[in-house]
Amino acid sequence: MAEKIKSKLRGNGFLLAVTIILFLVLYFAGAVLYADRNFTSPQVFLNLFISNAGLIIAAVGMTFVLITGGIDISIGSVIGVVCMMLAWMMEIKHMSAVLAIVLVFVFGIVFGLVQGFLISYLKIQPFIVTLGGMFFARGLTAMISSDMISIQNETFLNLANHKIYLNFITYYNNRGVEMHPYIYLSVVIALVVVLISWIILRYTKFGRAVFAVGGNEQSALLMGLNPKTTKLKVYILNGFLASLAGFVFCLNSCGGFVEQARGFEMDAIASAVIGGTLLTGGVGTVVGSLFGALIKGIIETIITFQGTLSSWWTRIVIAALLCFFVILQSVFKTIREKRLAQDDHH
Amino acid sequence: MSEEKKTVLSMRHINKNFPGVKALDDAQLTLREGEIHALMGENGAGKSTLIKVLTGVEEFESGEIIMDGKSIINHSPQEAGINGISTVYQEVNLCPNLTVAENIFIGREPMKRGRIDWKTINQQAQTIFDNLQLDIDATETLENYSVAIQQMVAIARAVDIQSKVLILDEPTSSLDEGEVEKLFDLMNMLKKRGTAIVFVTHFLEQVYAVCDRITVLRNGHFIGEYKTEELPRVKLVATMMGKEFDDLADIKQKGTGSIRSNDNIVIEAKGLSHKGTIKPFDLKIHKGEVIGLSGLLGSGRSELARAIYGADKPDGGELYVNGEKLDIKAPIDAMHHGMAYCPEDRKVEGIIADLSVRENMILALQAKRGMFKLMSRKEQEELTDKYIKILQVKTASRETPIKSLSGGNQQKVILGRWLMTEPDFLILDEPTRGIDVGTKTEIQKLVVKLAGEGMSVMFISSEIEEMLRTVNHMGILRDGEKVGELEESELSQENIMKAIAGGEK
Amino acid sequence: MNEKLKKLTTHRLFWPLVCLALVLLFNFIKSPSFFKISINNGVLYGYLIDILNRSSELIVLAVGMTLCVASSAGTDISVGAIMALSGAATVYCLGTGDTYAIPWILAILIGLVVSVLCGMWNGFLVAKMKIQPMVATLILFTAGRGMAQLITGGNILYIKEPSFKYLGGFLPHIPIPTPILVAIVVVVLSTLFLNKTATKLYVESVGINPKASRLFGLNSTRIIFITYAACGLCAGIAGMIATSRIASIDANNVGNLMELDAILAVALGGNSLGGGKFSVAGSVIGAVTIQALSTTLYAMSVTGDQLPLYKAIVVIVIVTLQSPEFKRYVNRWKAKRTVKADGKKVA
């Protein structure tokens, strides 16, 4: 048993362990600091998921892309344009909510397909292609409407406001009233995405091909895999997840406006990296990205509870964590290379 | 006396052109069931091209490949795999981020109820290693293992796929003796199973230890196929090196070389070594001497030179330049002490492709002078023109991008780059490769002239004749180790080849 | 004649100039007074002056970005954040009082030192720690604005002293807008430094073939480090101009998305994003072209928020044309056409 744990902890398992421990440390820190303000209330914990459902989905999509050694900086803009599209279709064009939602998923898939083609078949750097994607989506948002559009569509609002009560958990609030915590549909979607993605990455040939291509594309080719189609599928999947994240985001904001989700891709990347996904590719875990997103959530929560610190501190802490993890990954790599050089008996 | 084994694969009349060069000219290869077949040849012989043609990495112009009676063409490594041909490459072509077991099964994972069956993968992989008595944990990430182990895993993958033909391309470069033995056990096991194995290597000892037949290629031509037991080592070496048409005018007068004495030692290496490439060696280089390094491809000639120059920082031993002990941290240190190194692979380590002939030529001298002392345009042009003339570089102008020049002319520019630094010790690694015969002689004459003026030169070449005409002293290398030296009086083709081949076993 | 024409069209600045010329021509057709320059109130006015003025920060950024791209095939996405951070440092030091708290030149120097330190940090991560440039600069991209906000206390700080506007506006009695002058000085000085020392040669050599460069004595780590430090300095200078323009520091918005424009300018200028040979002049032309394109689109009632869509199309088209895979497809297609034309197989 000890051997098993030791082997799981070696290398990249170690990074995931660091992430989970970090999350627990932050949670307990908050619990200790703000015990008197119900930090440990189940609702506060579930709010982490509620506020960050979109981030979780976006981080999962980003994980797939990062594993193949690519990157997607257009995700924030895609979320923005998806919200705007939903708002416009439902409020200006009076389409049904269901139709609007299906159409934005189609948009996400097509968007991912185009980006994937440029990246995997024309071999253009992912950063540049998704930079173009970011510009395109952002501009498109403004073209659809420069004013904010609020969603009044009943079906949509019902979906957005529908609380799912977790009646198996009971707690008492300040006034001693018995409460059950609740979540929204968005949280369910996010968790389902994480579960399905985990299964894909672990138990399907496609998932393993994603890792292989990210590890060494040339080797993957020589071993009989097809890196081009694998990468294309990854970007299509990412496009779909981006539109799904946009939908979830919209459930939260119930409207579309030009500046929505600007810079969100950096949060998604940070979540994935803090969660143990290597920016150089070949390594990643959606569970880690989930925790990465939750870590951002908890830092935000702590800062909100603190009250006096500006919200910019969240940005800075995340950047510092990102820096720490990037350097940690780099140090790890150097240690491994040195150890192997010693092992070579020549 | 064994009966003729059944032919599994036959390549006939294979022709392959690259722009400007004919890589394979009517080449052939015959593989028989249950035989280990060595494919040998010096640089440019066409070994790797032949393999690439067989496995679908490269296309070919004409010829045929017949496997089990059927004519086939592999258009991709994937297709080659489907046709029963597996390859293990010199650079470990596995995915370092996946586990050992997964590397063996990727692309053909056993499934159970629609999901990948990890239990079976891990168990089967571990069984393979246990059977071979290799201490490898199948669930360990590949990159946590040394290159040697990774190589074994690559072979295990090919073995598990149960191909009819297994190609091993320089598989032993990073293995130690124990691991090589295990590899041979594996190969013999496959042999009994009936697999036809192609063993591409330059290690003579290994060829004689495990191979049944040897095919020798030279300059893209098929020279011959021999049964190992019928081919003495010296004959093999001679066949591989062959005789080249050459203007055989004797350019070196006997005795004009420097007297090797302890007074004029320029460079001395004591126990200098670099892990994985060159075992510890001693060498003394004298002023005005031309010292050659002879040995088969892969014997460590370039590596020895690189260890002296600091291109590969040595991990052991000491280096003295003019009696002073030096710790060379980077090539610029060596340059400041009067050394120059003209590398073997000009494309990868020589030319700066998009820059002009002038820029390529003056860069080494400029690096010596320092960033803030830019050479005046006039000086750059004059020096460039000077060496273009001396070396007869064919170029439209000195501003032409070097990538437009032919390989031979590119080589001349790189040579000019180093001559321009007026070094005390010049290392030339295959300086005449790809150069026309007339110019080869010019360069050889130049080397002798420079030595006469006091420069020490290390001359590495696969053409023994070329070296015989220019060098005063010869170092002999085999299998990554310096195994001997020959004095001027002992220099002859026969002696050199004997020294390279080593003892008959 | 054909020889001369071929030499002209293959010059590396040809296509960038053609693109610029097309944009300018389009503007001229739409409004004939486009090229008119006049002097009002002792200063130069005109569309052209306006374009050059507004593109000054971008020109300065593009100079720095060109070096990073050339030496390491990397992009520094933190330049916008560095602009904000150095601007915040300068404005904070000067204070929001009626007069400067410390001498102006000292505050500017502090701002520039901050930007150089940022550049050196990036350079350390990329050159020494061998981290991918996009990843390494991601850190300052995320943190830079946050740190700037901390300095300004989350507010927009205003400078009351009128002379602060000289840098972003006009110097007394000088008709040319100061930003244009600053841009010219930066371009001239950098070109002089690059060409009068071996720096340009070294950067190109390291960018094209770092292995060979090491063998003949270059220290690629040091060279790459210097290019990122220089990029940081350029971002600092651009930050000074930007803050001076509006006599304030808005840490959230200053330099927003300018890193992307800078990368686009480098690419438009004919420089390969894969590193190697570069031309500062090309990037300058690229920067002016982007600004001219923006001006054109504004004149066509495209709003600032919609502008990125057109930039996206331009980026993708240019990068596709530059991509070797695309050229390969085109060559194969051309070869097929030749087959059809000849009726027999081409060797």
Q: Where are the domains of chain B?
A: 7-241, 288-313+331-501
| SS3 sequence of C200-221 | HHHHHHHHHCHHHHHHCCCCHH
What's the confidence (pLDDT) of residue B339?
A: 95
The pLDDT score that the predictor gives to residue C324 is 75
Stretch C168-177: mean pLDDT: 85
Residue C62 lies in a domain: yes
Mean pLDDT value of segment C4-28: 80
Given a cut of 80, whether residue A172 has pLDDT beyond it is: no
- pLDDT at residue B246, rounded to an integer: 40
The answer to whether the CB of B42 falls within 8 A of the CB of B36 is no
| Nearest CA-CA distance, residue A285 and chain B, Å | 13
Determine how many CB atoms are found less than 10 A away from the CB of residue A9: 13
Alpha-carbon distance of B289 to B447, in angstroms, equals 10
The pLDDT score that the predictor gives to residue B497 is 83
* Beta-bridge partner residues of B213: B37, B227
Note whether B396 contacts C: Cβ–Cβ < 8 A: no
Q: What is the mean pLDDT of residues C194-211?
A: 94
- Spell out which residues of chain B touch residue A11, defining contact as CB-CB under 8 Å: 141, 144
Mean pLDDT of B247-259: 48
Rounded Cα distance between C270 and C246, Å, is 32
pLDDT at B362: 95
DSSP assignment string, A303-328: HHHH-SS-THHHHHHHHHHHHHHHHH
Of A258-267, B355-364, B478-487, C4-13, the poorest mean pLDDT is in C4-13
- Count of residues in chain B: 505
Contact A110, A239 (CB under 8 A): yes
pLDDT surpassing 60 at residue B456: yes
SS3 state of residue B348? helix
> What fold, for B288-313+331-501?
Rossmann fold (3.40.50)
Q: What pLDDT is stored for residue C126 in this prediction?
A: 94
Write the pLDDT tens digit of every residue in C52-80.
Answer: 999 999 999 999 999 999 999 888 999 99
Which chain A residue is nearest to residue C252, measuring alpha carbons?
A: A312
CA geometry: angle at B189 spanning B184 and B194, to 5°?
120
What distance lies between CA B501 and its chain's CA centroid?
17
- Residue A182 — very low, low, confident or very high, per pLDDT cuts 50/70/90? confident
Residue C35 in any domain: the answer is no
- In chain C, the number of structural domains is 1
Mean pLDDT across the stretch B61-68?
90
- Chain A contact partners (≥3 CB pairs within 8 A): B, C
Asked if C205 and B417 come within 8 Å (Cβ–Cβ), the reply is: no
pLDDT tens track for A277-314: 988 889 999 999 999 999 999 998 888 888 787 777 78
Report the predicted TM-score, pTM, of the whole model to 2 decimal places. 0.82
> Which of A208, A224, A336 lies nearest to residue B143, judging by beta carbons?
A336
d(CA B242, CA B43): 12
Banded model confidence at residue B43, pLDDT cuts 50, 70, 90: low
Name the residue among B360, B404, B367, B403 with its Cα closest to residue B383. B360
Whether the pLDDT of residue A12 is over 70: the answer is no
Predicted confidence (pLDDT) per residue in B75-119, tens digit? 888 788 888 898 888 777 899 999 999 999 988 888 888 899 999
Q: What integer best gives the mean pLDDT of chain A? A: 88
CB contact at 8 A, B353 and B403: yes
- Is-contact C127 C68, C-beta < 8 A? no
Mean pLDDT of A143-161: 89
Chain C residues 177-206 with CB within 8 Å of chain B: 196-199, 201-202, 204-205
**A340 pLDDT more than 80:** no
Which DSSP helix (H) or strand (E) runs through B353? none
Which of A11, A204, A219 comes nearest B116 by C-beta? Answer: A204
> Could you tell me the CATH number of the domain that includes residue C227?
1.10.3470
* Residue C315 forms contact with A (CB below 8 Å): yes
Residue A68 has pLDDT above 70, yes or no: yes
- Between B261-270, B465-474, C105-114, the lowest mean confidence (pLDDT) is in B261-270
Highest mean pLDDT among A174-178, B32-36, B238-242, C304-308: B32-36
The pLDDT value recorded for residue B248 is 40
CB-CB contact of A321 with A303 (8 Å)? no
**Contact between residue A289 and residue A55 where contact means Cβ atoms under 8 Å apart:** no
Task: Give the model's confidence band at B461: pLDDT under 50 very low, under 70 low, under 90 confident, else very high.
Answer: confident
Residue-level pLDDT at A11:
57
Report the pLDDT value the prediction gives residue B98, as an integer from 0 to 100.
93
**Interface confidence (ipTM) of the complex:** 0.84
Q: How far apart are CA B263 and CA B274, in angstroms?
A: 28
Q: Which residues of A touch B107 (CB under 8 A)?
A: 205, 209, 212, 223-225
Are the Cβ atoms of C135 and A279 closer than 8 angstroms?
Answer: yes
**Amino acid B252: pLDDT:** 56
CA distance B156 to chain A (A): 13
More confident residue, B10 or A6: B10
Q: How far apart are CA A210 and CA B110, in angstroms?
A: 17
User: How high does pLDDT run on average in chain C?
Assistant: 87
Give the per-residue pLDDT at B393.
Answer: 87
Position B256 scores a pLDDT of: 47
Candidate from A209-213, A261-265, B63-67 with smallest mean pLDDT = A261-265
Does C50 map to a domain?
Answer: yes
CB contact under 8 A, A266 and C273: no
Say yes or no: B355 contacts chain C, CB-CB below 8 A.
Answer: yes
Interface contact A139-C308, CB threshold 8 A = yes
Q: How far is CA A171 from CA A26, A167, A281, A321, C240, in A?
A: 22, 10, 43, 33, 55
The CATH number fitting domain A40-331, selected from 1.10.3470, 2.60.40, 3.90.120, 2.30.30: 1.10.3470
pLDDT (tens digit, 9 = 90+) per residue, C152-165?
888 888 888 888 88
β-partners of residue B375 are none
pLDDT single digits (tens) C178-188: 999 999 999 99
**Mean pLDDT of the region B390-412:** 85
Of C139, C306, C320, the CB nearest to A142: C306
Residue C227 to residue C278: CA distance in whole angstroms: 13
**Phi, psi (rounded to 5 degrees) for B210:** -135, -10
Q: C243 lies in a domain? A: yes
Output C244 or C325, whichever has higher pLDDT: C244
Highest-pLDDT range among A115-119, B85-89, C133-137: A115-119
| Backbone angles phi and psi of B268, in degrees to 5 | -135, 125
Cβ distance of B353 and C201 shorter than 8 Å: no
Tell me the nearest-neighbour CA distance from B77 into chain A, angstroms: 6
Provide the pLDDT confidence category of residue C110 given band limits of 50, 70 and 90: very high
Lowest mean pLDDT among A11-15, C89-93, C265-269, C328-332: A11-15
Chain A residues touching B115 at Cβ < 8 A: 199, 203-204
Report yes or no: B403 at the C interface, CB cutoff 8 Å. no
Average pLDDT over residues B138-164: 84
Q: Is it the case that residue B127 has pLDDT exceeding 70?
A: yes
**Residue type for position C301:** S
The architecture that CATH gives domain B7-241 is 3-Layer(aba) Sandwich (3.40)
Q: CB–CB of A143 and C134 under 8 A?
A: no
pLDDT band at B320 (very low <50, low <70, confident <90, very high): very high
With a pLDDT cut of 70, the percent of chain C lying above it is 97
**Best residue in B82, B88, B90, B95 to probe A by mutation, most A CBs within 10 Å?**
B95
**Residue range of the domain that includes C97:** 23-30+43-301
Mean pLDDT of B439-456: 86
Contact (CB<8Å) A71/C134: yes
